[in-house]
Amino acid sequence: MNKLVLRGAVWVASDIHLSEAVPETARAFYDFLDRARRQADALILCGDIFDAWIGDDHALRDPPDWLAAALDALRATAADLPLWLVRGNRDFLMGRALADALGARLLDAPAVLDTDAGAILLAHGDEFCTDDLAYQRFRRIVHTPWIQHVFLALPLSLRRAIAARARARSRQARRHKTMAIMDVNAAAIARALREAGCDALIHGHTHRPAVHALDLDGRAARRYVLPDWEFDRDPPPRGGWIEIDATGIQLKQI
């Protein structure tokens, strides 16, 4: 498992789902990046930064205006403080070419963060939704290296069409799933914490921000769930992040 030493104020955010369709969300997120540049010592974006990602070449060759603006904001952030990118379930195809172009670093998760608040397990979170068997089968398929290689070799137009179809099928499938099935599995969380040797976990993905107290083999543990960002479609506006420093771990919501 990856381990990363980070000192000072570390901020973590996820599930911004940037796309052409969410200009107000993008503006709120860019304001957050400006704040992080002034106040944080490191920033981790813990997956689903983008609503979809069909390959680094799409971003680096001739990005549409909304994507060019997003990349400019991330590049400016990385110029001022260490910026780490974690792949999510929507942008799992983000690669090192993108990170290099932004001056950021790609962090393979799950990872253990060695911070001033202690050791913390960090993950996007979808890997813990083990009750959703159909999703986990899909996840295993799309994370297969040769399948990713084949997809990235397709023309951009075909990749866009495949991604749009996959999103539509995902939305349809979610209508028939309970919230319990789409949430994390308690046994999977406990197993991950034991394997990592941590008493704290930070993850996103579920869009259900909270701080959960856990009993881990007789020890007190905590699970911190990051909020998603939405300022365009579903009122009220929401967003937030987690701050880690010597005083502890705090969930901040807008």
pLDDT in tens, 12-58: 999 999 999 999 999 999 999 999 999 999 999 999 999 999 999 98
Question: How does DSSP classify residue 238?
Answer: B
Q: Does the structure show a pLDDT above 70 at 241?
A: yes
Q: Which residue has the higher pLDDT, 173 or 114?
A: 114
Q: Three-class SS of residue 192?
A: helix
pLDDT score of 173 = 67
Q: Mean of the per-residue pLDDT values for the chain?
A: 94
Confidence of residue 169 (pLDDT cuts 50, 70, 90): confident
Q: Which residue has the higher pLDDT, 56 or 181?
A: 56
Q: What is the pTM of this model?
A: 0.94
Neighbours of 102 (CB within 10 A): 22
Kindly state the greatest CA–CA separation across the chain. Answer: 54
Beta strands 118-123 and 111-115 are antiparallel
Q: Which two tokens stand for residue 149?
A: 């290689």
pLDDT score of 246 = 97
For 25, 36, 142, 190, 242, the CA distances from 254, given in Å and listed in that order, are 12, 14, 33, 29, 11
Question: How does DSSP classify residue 128?
Answer: G
